[in-house]
A and B are shown apart, each in its own frame.
Chain A
Amino acid sequence: GDSVTQMEGPVTLSEEAFLTINCTYTATGYPSLFWYVQYPGEGLQLLLKATKADDKGSNKGFEATYRKETTSFHLEKGSVQVSDSAVYFCALGRGAQKLVFGQGTRLTINP
């Protein structure tokens, strides 16, 4: 079945550092791919998405490119801020509005 694997956290960085959170998936066909963010005490929010191979999703300085050849959707940001501290989830979506989530990666940014 479909599955998503994220790099294990937690990840701790200093402000203005470069961020990469790895995500790979296993699926047949062409699912849509997503990154969700969960701030402390809140529910998940959609951060960005890509619906087909080579699409690049972007939002709030974050980017991720749908790479079918490597079945990956890595999240990147060039310069992180303290306010980016949160848990990040990679997810795969296929029909019927069902999402399969990765384990989540906790990111802490120190000033």
Chain B
Amino acid sequence: DAGVIQSPRHEVTEMGQEVTLRCKPISGHNSLFWYRQTMMRGLELLIYFNNNVPIDDSGMPEDRFSAKMPNASFSTLKIQPSEPRDSAVYFCASSPTGTGYEKLFFGSGTQLSVL
């Protein structure tokens, strides 16, 4: 298995532009998580899905952020409009539901820089 695949690995954009981050979970995993990692706040859970349905989006910082999971093999995290304070590493993770945390697998992350 290829693991959790995120794209792009690096994204540099200008303030005000729309940014879309993509994630392909491991096949057969039906829980998907988006995390954000910054120096100031560490690793924060933004949103998670179970069976393609958003279960908890309380970590989404504001309305500029939105996430979708149109099917079991694809999810997006969109920021519109982007701001410099959104600069961070964004991780996607997936796991089979009900198997515990030892089955949580992370992607390599997307490094986002908003100028």
Residues of A bordering B, CB below 8 Å: 32, 34, 41-46, 49, 89, 93, 96-104
The prevalent SS among residues of B at the interface is: strand
Give the docked Cα–Cα distance between A104 and B40 (Å). 11
Cβ B93 vs Cβ A98 within 8 A: no
Q: Collect the chain A residues with CB atoms within 8 Å of residue B42's CB.
A: 89, 101-104
Assembled-state Cα–Cα distance A93/B97 (Å): 14
With an 8 Å Cβ cutoff, the count of chain B residues facing the other chain is 23
Given A98-B48, A101-B43, A43-B56 contact (CB < 8 Å): no
Residue positions of B touching A, CB distance < 8 A: 4, 31, 33, 42-45, 48, 55-56, 91, 93, 95, 97, 100-102, 104-109
Measured CB to CB, the closest approach of chain B to A21, in angstroms, equals 14
Nearest B residue (CB) for A44: B106
Q: Which residues of A have CB within 8 Å of B101?
A: 32, 34, 46, 49, 93, 97, 99
A43 contacts B107, C-beta separation under 8 Å = yes
- Which of B42, B95, B105, B108 has most A Cβ within 10 Å? B42
Least distance between B38 CB and chain A CB atoms (Å): 10
Interface of A is mostly: strand
Q: Which residues of B contact A96 (CB under 8 A)?
A: 48, 55-56
Q: Can you give 21 A-B contacts (C-beta < 8 A)?
A: A34-B101, A43-B105, A43-B106, A43-B107, A43-B108, A44-B43, A44-B91, A46-B101, A93-B101, A96-B48, A97-B31, A97-B48, A97-B95, A97-B97, A97-B101, A99-B45, A99-B101, A100-B45, A101-B44, A102-B42, A104-B42
B102→A42 contact, CB < 8 A: no
**Which residue in chain B gives the minimum CB-CB distance to A46?**
B102
Question: Are the CB atoms of B106 and A89 closer together than 8 Å?
Answer: no
Residues of B within 8 A of A34 (CB): 101
Tell me the bound Cα distance from A32 to B104 in angstroms. Answer: 14
Bound-complex Cα distance A46 to B95 (A): 12
- Give CA–CA (A34, B109) in the complex, Å: 20
| Minimum C-beta distance from B85 to chain A (A) | 18
Chain A residues near B55 (CB, 8 Å)? 96
One of B4, B104, B108, B109 near A99 (C-beta < 8 A): B104
